[in-house]
Structure 1
């Protein structure tokens, strides 16, 4: 079983159990989006000593936790679980890391990103529009597929350019992912 040096920041004990079935890693649980100061301080200390990977649920609360932790630890690594892989029945209902298969967790942890605050814009709004990612009836679905292909999670149209820039997604990688999405749509 793969050993991970960094500590994974997760939401709860069920996430820790799911991760332990997939990889050998330590976790720290935020116990929801109201993260107390002691937990944030511990996360900051762990980041200095071992590094951290933020691996929260692909939902509103998970994104809120991700933002809170990233403010305290700007050089944190990020892992994203595709929404469809975080649902036990793949149709709706509960959503989270705790429902992911070990293979889904390992794939997410194989695609880590670190935010870069002052990264230049490589992918323009024109590129996003031309790729059908920010306008049109299938834009939401195409953003979902792009997020899965690049391993950056799902974001709305307003946040897509920011996430691509922050994780320094190259134009080559972006175009390759869009080409795959287009090929799947044929």
Structure 2
């Protein structure tokens, strides 16, 4: 599997994991304090080849993703569920801990926000779906993020994430149906 886009990752170990799984060039942010120089490189790559942001499924990874999305709208996104990114010894979470197969699967489901119609979601829908204001809300949001392949987000950011990735009402309903089926087990 070869990518024309440049894949943005957090560090050298992520680059090693990406190159082990696919043929792609990477840009490393070297942590969550993304420098102006790094943003300039990412912008240049976006203009010339396109960019896929593929950061760790944790708070710093979400922060890096948000910084890049704000500075360079229109970048593509790939997400890895947290359970696929946990080190075998449980010592950390990151792309570098994922299997080659999980990395390839995540990169096969890249989101390109501008290619999808905008569906407007409401806070009321989130409440009714028990995604906010419910004791199981965080766990349900994590599972929803896996089903929709948009990653985990807190309740405050979920509406924004649904809009950024232009999740359709049909995708939303299918994901909620899957959550309900899981809850019955």
Report the TM-score, using the length of structure 2 for normalisation: 0.92
Determine whether 1:70 maps to 2:69. yes
Map of 2:41 onto structure 1:
42
Superposition deviation, residue 120 in structure 1: 5.2
Map of 2:25 onto structure 1:
26
Map of 1:125 onto structure 2:
123
1:110-155 C-alpha deviation (Å, 9 max, x unpaired): 2222345xx8552222221111111211111111000000000000
Pick the aligned partner of 2:133 from 128, 135, 141: 135
Which stretch shifts more, 24-33 or 67-76? 67-76
List alignment gaps of at least 5 residues for structure 2: none
Alignment length (residue pairs): 182
Check the 8 A contact 2:12/2:28 in 1, yes or no: yes
Q: CA RMSD in A?
A: 1.6
Instruction: List structure 1 runs of 4+ shifted beyond 3 angstroms.
Output: none
SS at match of 1:8: strand
SS at match of 1:21: helix
SS at match of 2:80: coil
Check the 8 A contact 1:133/1:143 in 2, yes or no: yes
Check the 8 A contact 1:8/1:54 in 2, yes or no: yes
Map of 2:93 onto structure 1:
95
SS at match of 2:132: coil
1:22-80 C-alpha deviation (Å, 9 max, x unpaired): 11111011111222222221111111000001111111111121122222211100111
Superposition deviation, residue 174 in structure 1: 0.3
List alignment gaps of at least 5 residues for structure 1: none
Map of 1:58 onto structure 2:
57
1:70-99 C-alpha deviation (Å, 9 max, x unpaired): 222111001111111110238x43111111
Instruction: Return closer, same or farther for 1:120/1:19 CA change in 2, 3 Å cut-off.
Output: closer
SS at match of 1:43: helix
Which stretch shifts more, 35-44 or 170-179? 35-44
Map of 2:14 onto structure 1:
15
Map of 2:159 onto structure 1:
161
